Chains A and B, each alone.
Chain A
Amino acid sequence: MVSIIFHAVGRFFLTIVFGVSPVKQVDDEQCIIVANHNTHLDTLVLLRLFPLRRLHKVKIVAAKDYFSKGCIGFLGRLFLNLILVDRGSGKVDEALQPLRQALQDGCSIIIFPEGTRGKPGVLARFKTGVGVLAMEFPEIPVYPVLLRGIEKTLPRGRFVPIPFNIGISCTSPEYGKDYLAEQGSGGRKKLVAALEEKVLGLSRL
């Protein structure tokens, strides 16, 4: 309940201060959101894709080395359903285990496949973890989402957010089932490439 009030207030605040454009909410029961990552605000803006009553079934994938300590980590763990993933351990399969669990429990997940906040306004190569998940749960839609303008509000290494307009664009989903025919890891790679292409395509509009 407290969390819902927090999110409602947060949404209102984001609209007033950052002029977040109105967005059509995702109406699937369960989905994976794939987005470009530039700032800590990304997560809060992406949660608008879900109605408030479904927020408790949305989990956000975050880096363990960053969010397990410090002030931002504490706030993040307090208000958001974070799944902390060990990045750079090399064991992809082990790292993905909590995400599998979440999807099996019927939760939606938000994932930033760039793996890091990266250079402002530049899309880095997607990591393939999201491809693995999409192939294992072929019926769950994967929505590519682009956040624009957000890299100005809170670039990496700065701490005070400054208001600039934030836009969200979402496009048609990709399904793992469309790629099952491919041999070996081919389907996974094609799926990730297709997602990357869609996000890039949105940024060119």
Chain B
Amino acid sequence: MKPLHMVLLSALIGLSAGMLYKDGDVSMLALMGVIVGLLLFFSIVWRVMQWRESLMAEEIRDRTLTWWWMVAVFLLALSTHKIVSFVFLGFLCFAALREYFSMLSMADTNDKAELAFADRLPVFFCYAAIPVVIFVCYIEWYNLFVILIPVYLFLLMPILLILQNRAKGTMKSLGVLSLGLMFFVHNLGHCLFMINMGAIVLLFCFTLTEVRDLLSFWVGKGLAVLAEKMADSQVKRGLELRIAPDVSPKKTWSAGILSALIIAALALLFVPILPVFPDGKITYSYCAFVGFSIGILGLFGDLAFSMVKRDAGVKDSGTALPGHGGIIDRVDSLVFTIPVTFHLIYWSYF
């Protein structure tokens, strides 16, 4: 890491810490301390691995460095003004949506490709929906927010295609466009409305989802080693039961459920720092339930985008984040966990 980058990174983190301290937001500060601590731990881990000349050192270094930057920018966006958070998260949705449309092939007609060149117009309206979502979330108009994309934008898409006077390939185009809208504008867009609940709720969901992504990799590896040592039995076969071998050959039910349980346990740690909602403080049992949902949904979010990428015939969705692939590879589980976490909390405590 270049010294200049190091200074800039520390400045970003210091700035957000200072801002949180000024606001007296102790719970955010505590969470931030834990996250920075984890990153420091991983930074030491890759140095040790490099010293031992381990093969994975390079990959872990790239990943950790990218994590540092993502965490710094993200924390800064959340700890400054509400508008900054909104614009930043809106941009995140935009970048993910753009990456989704970019990884699909485009040709004059969509017989063989996923999109036709005429689809550029509806794609533009998908992008244009994001500023509207930002505005609706900013004025906290919940009733419009929950139907804006699934009703209005969803209906706008066929209208645009009719006005373009197209008949062939429209069902395919509509499917691809609506998928993008629902995944990255509506579902990922819930993180914008979540800011209104308090940035810490968003951070709660983000942290647990990303920790699950990390954890499931190691839990999966651990269980695979364990199953290998066992004699052939019901238990071994149960441990090796795969969810969808054609979508992702390595994901097993046992690893998925075990990591979901660990995430449920970790969610309990957040109970003291979560704010008091209008209908009271979140209970331990409910928080564990939310954590378990995050665990299971994160797993399926991961798999859903493996499926989409396999169908589109790409390996990584992009090259925006060194060591991680594209932005979609990072937000895939969030698309599934954020809306559900939001509604679980909203129903019971608002």
Contacts and interface: CB of A to CB of B under 8 A. Distances in A.
Contact of A120 (B91, B94, B101, B117): B117
B120 A162 contact: yes
A12 to B, nearest CB: 13
A16 B95 CA distance: 9
A163 B117 contact: no
Contacts of B285: none
Contacts of A163: 94, 98, 127
A21 B320 contact: yes
Contacts of A165: 98-99, 102, 318, 320
A149 B101 CA distance: 10
> What does DSSP make chain A's interface, helix, strand, loop or mixed?
loop
B344 interface: no
Interface string A6-24: 0000000000100101000
Contacts of B120: 152, 155, 158, 162
Interface in B95-113: 95, 98-99, 101-102, 106-107
A164 interface: yes
A167 B102 CA distance: 10
Interface string A152-193: 100100101011110100000000000000000000000000
Contacts of B348: none
B347 interface: no
A88 B318 CA distance: 39
Interface string A82-123: 000000000000000000000000000000000000001100
B124 interface: yes
17 contacts: A16-B91, A19-B98, A19-B102, A19-B320, A21-B320, A121-B106, A121-B107, A149-B102, A152-B102, A152-B106, A152-B117, A152-B120, A155-B120, A160-B124, A163-B94, A163-B127, A164-B101
Given A16-B91, A120-B106, A163-B98, 15 more contacts: A19-B98, A121-B106, A121-B107, A149-B102, A152-B106, A152-B120, A158-B117, A160-B124, A162-B120, A162-B124, A163-B94, A164-B101, A164-B102, A165-B99, A165-B102
